[in-house]
Amino acid sequence: MTSHTTTPLEYKTQQSQMNILGFWIFLGAEIVLFSTLFASYFVLEHNIAGGPAGGDIFVLKDVLIETFLLLTSSFTSGLAIHAMRNHDKKGLLIWMIATLLLGAGFLYMEINEFLHFIHEGATIQTSGFTAALFTLLGTHGAHVTFGIVWISLLLVQLVRRGITEKTSSKLFIASLYWHFLDVVWIFIFTFVYLKGMVM
Amino acid sequence: MSLDEFFVTGDPMIFASQIAIGLTMVGLIALITYLKRWKWLWSEWFTTVDHKKIGIMYILAGVLMFFRGGVDGLLMKAQTSRPEMGILDAQHYDEIFTTHGVIMILFMAMPLLIGIMNVVVPLQIGARDVAFPKLNALSFWLFFVAAMLFNISFVIGGSPDAGWTSYFPLAGKEFTPGVGNNYYAISLQIAGIGTLATGINFVVTIIKMRAPGMSWMKMPIFVWTTFITSIIIVAAFPIFTVALLYMTLDRLFGTHFFTVAAGGDPMLWLNLFWLWGHPEVYIVVLPAFGMFSEVIATFARKNLYGYKSMVYAVAGIAFLSMLVWVHHFYTMGNSATVNSIFSLTTMMIAIPTGVKIFNWLFTLRKGRIEFSTSMLWALAFIPCFTIGGVTGVMLAMAAADYQYHNTMFLVAHFHYVLIPGVVFAVFAGLYYWWPKMFGFKLNEKIGKWHFWLFVIGFNLTFMPMFFVGLDGMSRRMYTYAESTGWGAWLGFSAVGSLIMAAGFAALVYNIYWSFRYASRKVGNDPWNARTLEWATASPAPHYNFAKVPEVDRLDDFWYKKKKGETGLKKSDLKPVHMPSNSWTPIVLAAAFGVVGFFLVFEWFTLAIIASVGIVVGLVANTFDYDDGYHIPVDELEEEEREWRGDLK
Amino acid sequence: MKAMKKLVYILTLLFIPIFLAGCESKLLVFDPKGPIARSLTDLIVYSISFMLVIVIVIFVLFSYIVWKYRARKDDGDFEPKEEKGNHWLEITWFTIPVIIVIALMIPTTKTIYEVEDIPQGYEEEEPLVIHVTSADWKWIFSYPEQNIETVNYINIPADHPVQFKMTSAGTMQSFWVPELGGQKYTMANMQTNLFLVADKPGSFYGRNTSFNGRGYAHMEFEVQAQTQDDFNEWVNDVKTTAIDLTEDKYAEILEPGNLGRMTFNKTHLEWVNHAHGGSEKYIDSELYEISHDDEEHEEESEDTDEQIEESNTEVEEDTSDSTDADHSHH
């Protein structure tokens, strides 16, 4: 449609614009989804039914590493989009791969953490609290997993097709998704881990 | 699990339906094969991304589900028509009122409304399709697969039996151990994903694809209601997604979200359910309001009175709809303060609704009212809905609600809201937009039989329920004692339901009759209407508009028509870009259905294997770089000449 | 079309007697037998009067407009004028509902607060406390002070406040005695409170209104209001004649099924109060398995019959006829 030199590539076609807007609205729905998960968690937080409470099972060090990995990955995905805007295919590829590796590291830590919880006697079936905890963390983790697979597939397309109107808008949307997961994690870090360990 | 546990056995009625379903399936497949229609079905319908065809499929499926839900309703009416009836036992009755509720709300009202939205909204804003045509097809197929999955529970495994609200702890595994309520959790989850996608799709379509010049306050009112409805969908459906996820985890994986034991909280379900459930009521009612507005304006031959206040009223209702969910459980022992606050927010909904009623009345005033079938539905809506509305205000008063809650009074109230508010609207919309979908009108004479039988039957069915409710009859009772004295009321109600059923039969006959005999010469604008969808041929061509219309004002088409400015210049024609058909939506949805079915029976290995289908569908989709195709100018010209005669 | 009009006519005629029949005997909600129910009925009648006015105004306006502005054959090419809307009119019909809402809201709030407490005039009296435990599909009533327990019926002193402390042993139910007051949910691990007073001695219909499975339709109970003397006598009778409630017997009562009336010495509150947890050990999901097999259903109903017979032998004194007759006010 419009071809101002200032319009970023990913916004060039009307369909891309609609895709990006649509994705923002989808993120709105995701916010409602995570809000519901958080609200339920707050309702069930103290229903430990004789099982372990948050403070008993959380390990601060691991959580800090997870947070570091995910925050860094958000930063690298930002660098990737910056490279994309400069038509730097190689930079885009490298930073996206870095993002993926950091994401995978986060997942590895999270799976370990889950195993640790189970080892401490907190399975998803233990209590109202553990059900809400595992579901909230698990939903976030599932999103990260989905994101990793999705971005990998997009990188295959990028290698094949280069930075085009289509691939750029796809990668831009994926980066929005990735930033969103980061924001959700900040809330999890604050309201699940810190709150659980302080209280 | 043995085979006789898998199939529902032992009941002659269900056995007969099993055979009937089997025979119908075989018959249909044989018929399609005989007529050599498979390829046509696949390429014209199953893989289509055309919003009009998708809309029509929604409507067909909705009418089919209306039949199923209606039969459930008739069975309930038959069972309670006299005291101590023995047609259904308690368990069957429980299953039937559950499926009646779920089907009527989620598999009848939703698809019929979304179907009409699909057909009409892109045409009304002068667009060629929705923003994401392929996603739109996926929405439909997810809904359809979910509806089928829900319906087979009837013959395979057993139906859900905890009410459409599926309250915990009852809906938990401890109290309803069968697979019935698994069907509820999983099929509604699948349908919900589809609906959410529809919501997103329409928000973007309406923001981005309006014809040049159509600013917000120049949009047809139905587009406005669709837009606001879509926003509520985006805001409310994720809550249900989470609630159903918890339900699934509780039932399939032994977690304790809503259980009595181990720190679960059943009241969390009630809150989450109604946080979604109340907005859901407005998701179905608001587009209906939009349709009535269009129909009333058209057949009163006047513009809609107070257009702006109508828009604000709809927005106000949508906003308030999020703040009233507690009124579904005033009797939960909330503090008096909480109940007072929610009484107030609930009653406040009456204010914008009242504004709408008066605006409709004043649209009619000083008009020239034509009693077409479509208009009759819109007119009957006003008094019937008023009764539903005022009883709603009565229910909103928490203290009074302690005497109405869970009684037949409540049942009568919400049928008086939903049937005039949604079903009448769908009928009005079908009669009104039928020519735009199919190129012929539904028969007006049969339509009037349909109208009178249905409206009379409706009032006879539900009016007595107010009275038995006030006499202490609670809802969902499969039987009652002679000494209660309710027999006479409910007998009447049962007769009414038969009349209503006759009305529905008249609609089906009307569709058949009109399909065979109705005149195919309806022209582009058979009702002398006001909005853009009437500016193009009937049925609308697959590209909708040969040239995207330009809009200067509200009801632009009406004024252009008067000035004779609706013609098309040959020089305006340019090749039209259209999206290609796609097989991914139907295949992806089918994979969801298969995975869902395995999950219902907790066959996890099979479910995991089948979910490979979902992954393949998604991967195929992301690698799909199909850019659609262009319709050349000659083709456009030819099609346009067919109904316009000569081009300028 | 003619045939259709006839049909409308006949149906209207048929509908009239049923309305009359309804008005002849009072509907339960309009027939309060205690102060709490009376304040609810007053509120309901007050709201109905408003609603009737609204309905009449809209119906009259609607009929008039539709009749007056119908299309006529002789009006030729009459083209209605476009109207934009009128601010004053729109403000008017915005304001009127606002006023109505305020008019309804004030008494509603008052009543909400009112029915939460002991009704006026009874504040001085010490209420009789009854613990209500609802289970699938029966009502269990414990009188902690009297140390007796009943199933599916309660006796209360008339003209005296009764405080119900309510909970559930499993699914959610709703406790409702329409002639005495509004309903409230009973939920496991939670306690809800309800005050009721009966003006005079009499028998009142009570039931569960919140669907909770197969036995739901029959989950009824009777409230028998007696004079203070009769009530005391009944308590004494129970204490001298009824058998003791045991933990085993109680577990048996909690098994899903409909039961007749029962009366016991002692209450189950000694070993479990479902408001504070402990319900799960009584819940056996196998007993909730369903089968569409007709034979099994017959078996089940035989079971219930047996239980009812069994229970009848345990009921030492049955003050009224039967549960079925509870709702015989017509």
- Comparing CA positions, the residue from C184, C188, C290 lying closest to residue B94 is C290
Average pLDDT, chain A: 90
In this structure, the answer to whether residues C171 and C281 fall within a common structural domain is yes
In this structure, the answer to whether residues C179 and C94 fall within a common structural domain is no
Domain harbouring C158, CATH code? 2.60.40.420
Cβ of C106 under 8 Å from any chain B Cβ? no
Q: Residue C9: inside a domain, yes or no?
A: no
Shortest distance between the Cα of A67 and any Cα of chain B, in A, equals 25
If you write DSSP's letter for every residue of B345-374 in order, what string do you get?
A: HHHHTHHHHHHHHHHHHHHHTTS-B---HH
Amino acid C151 reads V
CB pairs under 8 A between A and B: 114
Q: Which band of pLDDT confidence, cut at 50, 70 and 90, is reported for residue B621?
A: confident
- Chain A contact partners (≥3 CB pairs within 8 A): B
Interchain contact, B272 vs A25, CB within 8 Å: no
pLDDT confidence of residue C312: 42
For chain A, the C-alpha Rg in angstroms (whole number) is: 19
User: For residues C269, C273, C278 and C282, what is the CA-based torsion angle, rounded to 10 degrees?
Assistant: 60
Contact B404/B469 with Cβ under 8 angstroms?
Answer: yes
Higher pLDDT among residues B417 and B1, named by residue: B417
Helices A128-161 + B604-622 axis angle, to 10: 30
Interchain contact, B268 vs A44, CB within 8 Å: yes
- Determine the structural domain holding residue C104 and report its residue range: 27-65+89-116
**B309 vs C83, C90, C113: nearest CB:** C90
Residue of B nearest to C284 (CA): B174
Q: How many CB atoms lie within 10 A of CB C266?
A: 18
**C327 vs B362, B364, B481: nearest CB:** B481
Q: Residue C16: inside a domain, yes or no?
A: no
| Coil vs helix vs strand at C157 | strand
Contact C214/B476 with Cβ under 8 angstroms?
Answer: no
pLDDT confidence of residue C10: 55
- Best of B298, B390, B453 to disrupt the C interface (most C CBs within 10 Å) is B390
Q: Residue A2: inside a domain, yes or no?
A: no
Q: What is the mean pLDDT of residues A78-95?
A: 90
Q: What is the mean pLDDT of residues B216-237?
A: 94
| Coil vs helix vs strand at C180 | coil
Contact B58/B140 with Cβ under 8 angstroms?
Answer: yes
pLDDT confidence of residue B9: 64
pLDDT confidence of residue C25: 62
Chain A residues with CB-CB distance to B621 below 8 A: none
Burial B26-58 (b: 16+ CB within 10 A, else e): eeeeeeeeeeeeeeeeeeebbbbbbbbbbbbbb
In this structure, the answer to whether residues C171 and C253 fall within a common structural domain is yes
- Chain C contact partners (≥3 CB pairs within 8 A): B
Q: How many CB atoms lie within 10 A of CB B583?
A: 14
Higher pLDDT among residues B166 and C298, named by residue: B166
Residue A130 has pLDDT above 50, yes or no: yes
Percent of chain B exceeding pLDDT 90 equals 61
Rounded distance, CA A174 to CA C261, Å? 66
Residue of A nearest to B626 (CA): A166
pLDDT in tens, B556-576: 888 888 888 888 888 888 898
Residue A196 has pLDDT above 90, yes or no: no
Q: Which band of pLDDT confidence, cut at 50, 70 and 90, is reported for residue B60?
A: very high
pLDDT in tens, C8-20: 555 555 555 555 5
Percent of chain B exceeding pLDDT 70 equals 99
Q: Residue A38: inside a domain, yes or no?
A: yes
- Chain B contact partners (≥3 CB pairs within 8 A): A, C
pLDDT confidence of residue C140: 93
Can you give B445-509 as a three-state secondary structure string? HHHHHHHHHHHHHHHHHHHHHHHHHHCCCECCCCCCCHHHCCHHHHHHHHHHHHHHHHHHHHHHH
Residue B14 has pLDDT above 80, yes or no: no
| Coil vs helix vs strand at C129 | strand
Beta-sheet strand order (sheet of C192-196) = C192-196, C162-168, C128-135, C138-143, C148-151, C262-265
Rounded distance, CA B74 to CA B549, Å? 47
Query: For chain B, how are helix, strand and coil distributed in percent, rounded to 5?
Result: 70, 0, 30
User: For residues B401, B404, B407 and B410, what is the CA-based torsion angle, rounded to 10 degrees?
Assistant: -80
Contact C14/C178 with Cβ under 8 angstroms?
Answer: no
In this structure, the answer to whether residues C140 and C277 fall within a common structural domain is yes
Cβ of A38 under 8 Å from any chain B Cβ? no
Interchain contact, A40 vs B254, CB within 8 Å: no
Interface subset of C 210-229, CB within 8 angstroms of B = 210-217
pLDDT confidence of residue B1: 57
In this structure, the answer to whether residues C132 and C256 fall within a common structural domain is yes
Least confident of A110-119, B5-14, C178-187: B5-14
Phi, psi dihedral angles at A158 (to 5 degrees): -65, -45
Number of domains in chain C: 2
pLDDT confidence of residue B166: 92
Beta strands in chain A (DSSP E): none
In this structure, the answer to whether residues C229 and C105 fall within a common structural domain is no
Interchain contact, B201 vs A26, CB within 8 Å: no
Rounded distance, CA B199 to CA C214, Å? 38
pLDDT confidence of residue B44: 87
**C170 vs B175, B267, B368: nearest CB:** B175
Q: Residue C215: inside a domain, yes or no?
A: yes
- Best of B256, B259, B272, B273 to disrupt the A interface (most A CBs within 10 Å) is B256
Contact B265/B256 with Cβ under 8 angstroms?
Answer: no
Interface subset of C 288-307, CB within 8 angstroms of B = 288-295, 297
**C214 vs B94, B301, B343: nearest CB:** B94
Interchain contact, A44 vs B239, CB within 8 Å: no
pLDDT in tens, B36-49: 888 888 888 999 99
Please provide the size of chain B in residues: 648
- Tell me which residue has tokens 């005997």: C25
Residue A151 has pLDDT above 90, yes or no: yes
Residue C303 has pLDDT above 90, yes or no: no
Domain harbouring A56, CATH code? 1.20.120.80
pLDDT in tens, B231-265: 999 999 999 999 999 999 999 999 999 988 888 89
In this structure, the answer to whether residues C94 and C172 fall within a common structural domain is no
Phi, psi dihedral angles at C32 (to 5 degrees): -70, 145
Q: Residue A144: inside a domain, yes or no?
A: yes
In this structure, the answer to whether residues C180 and C44 fall within a common structural domain is no
Handedness of CA A7, A11, A15, A21 (dihedral sign): negative
Interchain contact, A14 vs B208, CB within 8 Å: yes
User: What is the ipTM, given to two decimal places?
Assistant: 0.92
Cβ of B640 under 8 Å from any chain C Cβ? no
Query: For chain A, how are helix, strand and coil distributed in percent, rounded to 5?
Result: 80, 0, 20
- Determine the structural domain holding residue A92 and report its residue range: 12-198
DSSP secondary structure code for residue B217 in this structure? G
Residue of B nearest to C185 (CA): B332
Assigned token pair, B203: 């928000």
Q: Residue A5: inside a domain, yes or no?
A: no
pLDDT confidence of residue C223: 94
pLDDT confidence of residue C306: 41
Q: Residue C7: inside a domain, yes or no?
A: no
pLDDT in tens, A10-59: 888 888 889 999 999 999 999 999 999 999 999 998 888 888 888 888 88
- Tell me which residue has tokens 């099972």: A57
pLDDT in tens, C189-244: 899 999 999 999 999 999 999 999 888 999 999 999 999 999 999 999 998 898 98
Mention every residue, 6+ apart, whose C-beta is less than 8 A from residue B8.
B14, B18, B154, B155, B156, B157, B158, C292
Q: Which band of pLDDT confidence, cut at 50, 70 and 90, is reported for residue C311?
A: very low
Contact C244/B440 with Cβ under 8 angstroms?
Answer: no
Residue B454 has pLDDT above 80, yes or no: yes
Interchain contact, A29 vs B234, CB within 8 Å: yes
| Coil vs helix vs strand at B127 | coil
- Comparing CA positions, the residue from B119, B127, B53 lying closest to residue B545 is B127
pLDDT confidence of residue C242: 86
In this structure, the answer to whether residues C93 and C134 fall within a common structural domain is no
In this structure, the answer to whether residues C202 and C102 fall within a common structural domain is no
- Tell me which residue has tokens 């239980």: C307
Mention every residue, 6+ apart, whose C-beta is less than 8 A from residue B262.
A47, A49, A51, A125, A126, A127, A128, B256, C280
pLDDT in tens, B122-169: 999 999 899 999 999 999 999 999 999 998 888 888 889 999 999 989
Interchain contact, B237 vs A29, CB within 8 Å: yes
Distances from the Cα of B607 to the Cα of B124, B328, B532, C218, angstroms: 42, 36, 47, 40
Interchain contact, B477 vs C217, CB within 8 Å: yes
Chain C residues with CB-CB distance to B359 below 8 A: 85, 90
Number of domains in chain A: 1
A164 burial class (0-12, 13-18, 19+ CB within 10 angstroms)?
middle
Q: How many CB atoms lie within 10 A of CB C278?
A: 16
Shortest distance between the Cα of B275 and any Cα of chain A, in A, equals 10
**B263 vs A22, A33, A44: nearest CB:** A44
| Coil vs helix vs strand at C83 | coil
Helices in B322-443 by DSSP H: which ranges?
336-348, 350-364, 373-396, 398-404, 408-418, 425-438
Chain B residues with CB-CB distance to A159 below 8 A: none
Residue B352 has pLDDT above 80, yes or no: yes
Phi, psi dihedral angles at C236 (to 5 degrees): -65, -45
Contact C164/C140 with Cβ under 8 angstroms?
Answer: no
In this structure, the answer to whether residues C49 and C162 fall within a common structural domain is no
Interchain contact, A124 vs B253, CB within 8 Å: yes
Chain C residues with CB-CB distance to B390 below 8 A: 51, 54-55
Q: Residue C1: inside a domain, yes or no?
A: no
**A131 vs B235, B257, B275: nearest CB:** B257
Residue C319 has pLDDT above 50, yes or no: no
Q: Residue C175: inside a domain, yes or no?
A: yes
Residue C318 has pLDDT above 50, yes or no: no
Cβ of A28 under 8 Å from any chain B Cβ? yes
Shortest distance between the Cα of A2 and any Cα of chain B, in A, equals 14
Residue of B nearest to A17 (CA): B208
**C94 vs B355, B365, B383: nearest CB:** B355
Q: Residue A80: inside a domain, yes or no?
A: yes
Cβ of C82 under 8 Å from any chain B Cβ? yes
Amino acid B173 reads K
What are chain B's domains? Answer: 36-582+626-644 (1.20.210.10)
Last residue of a domain, one of C270, C285, C300: C285
Average pLDDT, chain B: 90
In this structure, the answer to whether residues C99 and C245 fall within a common structural domain is no
pLDDT confidence of residue A2: 44
**A18 vs B204, B236, B245: nearest CB:** B204
Residue of C nearest to B407 (CA): C209
Assigned token pair, B535: 């500016």
Shortest distance between the Cα of B404 and any Cα of chain A, in A, equals 29
